[in-house]
Amino acid sequence: MHAIVKSRPGPGFDFLLDAPDPQVGPADVLVKVAATSLCGVDRHVYDWDQAGQAFVPTLPRIPGHETAGVVIEVGAAVQSISVGDRVALESHLVCGSCMECRTGNAHLCSRQTILGLSRDGAFAQRVAVPASACYPIPDGVSLEEAALFEPAGVAVHALQRAPSLLGQSVLVSGCGPIGLFLIELARIAGASRVIATELSPGRRLLAERRGAITLDPAAVDVPTEVARLTPRRQGVDVAFEASGSPRALGPVLESVRVAGDVVTVGHPGAVSVDISKLINVRYLTLRGVFGRRLWETWETLGELVSTGRLELAGFIDDRIPLDALPSAIAGIGDSGKVLVIPEDRS
């Protein structure tokens, strides 16, 4: 089959015309890929920087983990999924029997593998996964929209870790794709005002188009401006950190009102937090997200998209064929989403 392969250490991806077809075990399904969305993680793998090397333990590897398609083959033991089913794939493949899987936290499975990183992914015409990783796409949701469920689910998960946003003021730090999903979801969830911070003028514009008041953290003092914009509480009720920048977190924490909530979505690494002032005396609650809750996050997202409350198509910026990916990836920005569309030769 056609596939993108990370064949060897060092920068680059190869486009292969004759990659071997995935093997389908008795509990697996084979999915004909309809669309796979590009993620910042793919860029790290392409560049083979430190993060990219940490994500991918062995080579060769087919990348691609935000994907949807149609089931074209099912293993002998599969009962819940049938040939012809339209499915989006959970990229975190979990064991189902460890302590986390047994106690409602399967997304934290201690034995999970990740599609496109620690097992072959979906920048290919076909991908094989356990049937248990399939989310049946609700009627009225296109395969292209379904390919965005994986990244949009991270944002939905972030809202599920926060109190209800009805009538609450919200800060979103960082206006990449996840930040834009958060802005849109905060508005849908009834936030009274959404403030967003972002260095890039282009992304600030996208945030403003979705109704956010934007701040440039290079130009203003974020906590001061947020306090001015939230006169009754002198800070937002809930903040989401989605920039992944270590420098962003401090101002975010200081922009939240007393007894407010912070959810970290980005991955800034180790950051200094003033425990005395923020966590004790200002009484903040700090939580993060990883992946999507199985399957509460998917069900909520499916409802939002299938009923038209959340329109995912508007987040798609471009579509490219599989063989264009290696030359295109370096030039791709990350504020909207680019879909990779394998040609149909099945």
50 is a contact residue toward its own copies (CB under 8 A): no
Count the Cβ atoms, other than its own, within 10 Å of residue 17.
Answer: 8
Contact 91, 150 (CB under 8 A): yes
Count the Cβ atoms, other than its own, within 10 Å of residue 110.
Answer: 11
Among 59, 220, 281, 330, binds its own copies (CB under 8 A): 281
Among 29, 122, 152, 185, binds its own copies (CB under 8 A): 185
Nearest approach, Cβ of 145 to its own copies (angstroms)?
15
Q: Give me the half-sphere count of Cα atoms (radius 13 Å) on the Cβ side of residue 7.
A: 9
Contacting range for its own copies; rule: CB under 8 A; set: 33-41, 173-181, 273-281, 313-321: 273-281
Contacting range for its own copies; rule: CB under 8 A; set: 62-70, 214-222, 263-271, 312-320: 263-271
105 is a contact residue toward its own copies (CB under 8 A): yes
Alpha-carbon distance values, 178 to 150, 152, 175, 185 (Å): 11, 7, 7, 10
238 is a contact residue toward its own copies (CB under 8 A): no
104 is a contact residue toward its own copies (CB under 8 A): yes
Burial degree of 320 (CB within 10 A; 0-12, 13-18, 19+): middle
Residue 76 or residue 219: which is nearer to its own copies going by CB? 76
301 is a contact residue toward its own copies (CB under 8 A): yes
Nearest by Cα to 69 from 21, 33, 24? 33
- Burial of 45-72, coded b for 16+ CB within 10 Å and e otherwise, reads bbbbeeebeebbeeeebbbbbbbbbbbe
Please give the structure tokens belonging to residue 62: 């087919």
79 is a contact residue toward its own copies (CB under 8 A): yes
What does the chain come to in residues?
346
Nearest approach, Cβ of 25 to its own copies (angstroms)?
12
Burial degree of 6 (CB within 10 A; 0-12, 13-18, 19+): buried
285 is a contact residue toward its own copies (CB under 8 A): yes
Annotate each residue in 191-220 with x if it binds its own copies (CB under 8 A) or - if it does not, as one string.
-xx---------------------------
Among 36, 67, 91, 168, binds its own copies (CB under 8 A): 168
169 is a contact residue toward its own copies (CB under 8 A): yes
303 is a contact residue toward its own copies (CB under 8 A): yes
Residue 63 or residue 291: which is nearer to its own copies going by CB? 291
Among 264, 329, 335, 339, binds its own copies (CB under 8 A): 264
